[in-house]
Structure 1
Amino acid sequence: MMNGKMDRRGFFATFVKMAGVAFIAPTVLNTVFGSEAHAQKKRGAAPEAAPAAKGGMPLLDPNDSVAKAVKYVADYKKAPEAKGNHCATCGFYGKKDATTGTCTIFAGKLVLADAWCASWNKKA
């Protein structure tokens, strides 16, 4: 390798070293830095529920600050001010499946079709 050319033995030695680094590096990095799930497990925290079951969006939590602000309830029958109205009959609601849908008020979250909030607006 004196004249800038690599011989066959040098090539294979370099190749084996590079392959070893490429194979071992991810394992070492994962061990050193760990994953978020592993870190949560070590802290004793419960892992977040996977929202993938309903197309990647989580179901709206009634304790959400926006939900509380508009008096969101998961069952319209438990809210006398709903007067029989519910999300499935609201203009802001977009049906996703038989029991859930999207709402422009609660962006990125699914709401129950039988829920209600004070922002209910009759469908046009």
Structure 2
Amino acid sequence: MIDNKMNRRGFFKVFATVAGAAIVAPAFLRGTAQAQEKRRGAAPAAGAAGGAMPMVDPKDTVAKAVKYVEDHSKAADAKGNHCSTCGFYAKKEVRAGKEVGTCTIFAGKLVAGPGWCASWNKKA
């Protein structure tokens, strides 16, 4: 005779397997979808129109919190430092004749190379 009752250890073993699959499956499926788009030559979805990343608005709450300015010469605390010499900055492109790049503080947005904020950190 087969016992169909599940013991405690069996329950947790099945639960862990199902939970693990629920965590891994979305990441796997997202990676598969991106690979298919790449093969088709489609551009990945972007948050801004035309695929261009938006610039940080100095009036944004995070920008205000770190005292971000687009021109380091207008910040008394900058002491000649600017975003393009910061460890959090990575050059991305040139817009309107000015260098812009990504910053780990402002995820998904670009900052001006000549800008500055209170989180400035010397490049290693």
TM-score range relative to shorter protein: 0.5 to 0.7
- The CA distance in 2 between the partners of 1:119 and 1:74, in whole Å, is 14
The aligned counterpart of 2:87 is: 91
Structure 1 gap segments, 5+ residues each = 1-49
For residue 108 of structure 2, give the secondary structure of its aligned residue in structure 1. Answer: coil
Q: Which of the two has greater strand per residue?
A: 2
For residue 117 of structure 1, give the secondary structure of its aligned residue in structure 2. Answer: coil
- Structure with larger Rg: 1
The aligned counterpart of 1:105 is: 105
Shift in Å, 1:56: 2.4
- The CA distance in 1 between the partners of 2:120 and 2:93, in whole Å, is 19
- Quick check: 1:80 aligned with 2:64? no
- The CA distance in 2 between the partners of 1:66 and 1:56, in whole Å, is 21
Structure 2 gap segments, 5+ residues each = 1-47
1:83/1:107 CA distance change after superposition, 3 Å: same
Equivalent of 2:59, from 63, 83, 94? 63
Q: Structure 1 stretches (4+) deviating beyond 2 angstroms?
A: none
TM-score by length of 1: 0.56
Q: Which amino acid aligns with 2:109?
A: K
- The CA distance in 1 between the partners of 2:49 and 2:117, in whole Å, is 23
Instruction: Report the count of equivalent residues.
Output: 73
* Contact 1:51 1:58 survives alignment (8 Å): no
- The CA distance in 2 between the partners of 1:102 and 1:62, in whole Å, is 15
Shift in Å, 1:80: 1.1
Of all paired residues, the percent bearing the same amino acid is: 70
Aligned positions of 1:1-124 closer than 5 A: 51-52=49-50, 55-98=51-94, 99-124=99-124
- The CA distance in 1 between the partners of 2:116 and 2:89, in whole Å, is 11
The alignment's C-alpha RMSD in Å is 1.2
